Amino acid sequence: MGLFLYAFAYATNSPVMVAAVQRYSTPRSRAVAFSLYYVSFNIGGTLSGPIVDAIRKAFLDPATRKLVPRVVDLPLLGPRPMTAHAAVLAIGALTSLLAFVVVLFARAGAERRGLSAAEASAPKKSPWALFRAVAAEKLFWRFLVLMLLLSVVRLILQHMHFTWPKYVLRVEGDDFPAGRVWALNSLLILFLTPLATVVTRRMRTLDAIIVGTFITAASPFLLCFGSSLPWQLAMVVTLTVGEAVWSPRMFQYNLAIAPRGQESTYVGLASFPFFMAKFLAARTSGRLLEHFCPAVGDRHPAMLWAVIGLSTVIGPVGIVLLRRVIERVPGGSVAIHCATR
* In the predicted structure, residue 280 carries a pLDDT above the cut 50: yes
Bigger pLDDT: 215 vs 147: 215
14-58+124-327 fold: Growth Hormone; Chain: A; (1.20.1250)
HSE value, Cβ hemisphere, 13 Å, CA-based, for 54: 7
Cα 280 to Cα 158, 199, 269, 275, 276: the distances in Å are 9, 33, 18, 9, 6
pTM for this predicted structure: 0.69
Sequence-ordered list of residues with C-beta below 8 angstroms from that of 171, at least 6 positions apart, any chain? 227, 293, 299, 301
Residues 122-152: tens digit of each pLDDT: 556 666 666 676 667 777 777 788 888 888 8
Cα 295 to Cα 167, 172, 301: the distances in Å are 9, 12, 12
Sequence-ordered list of residues with C-beta below 8 angstroms from that of 296, at least 6 positions apart, any chain? none
Sequence-ordered list of residues with C-beta below 8 angstroms from that of 131, at least 6 positions apart, any chain? 265, 269
Residue 330: pLDDT band (50, 70, 90) is: very low
pLDDT on residue 337: 45
| Residue range 61-81: mean pLDDT, rounded | 84
SS3 74: strand
* In the predicted structure, residue 277 carries a pLDDT above the cut 90: no
* In the predicted structure, residue 117 carries a pLDDT above the cut 90: no
pLDDT on residue 3: 79
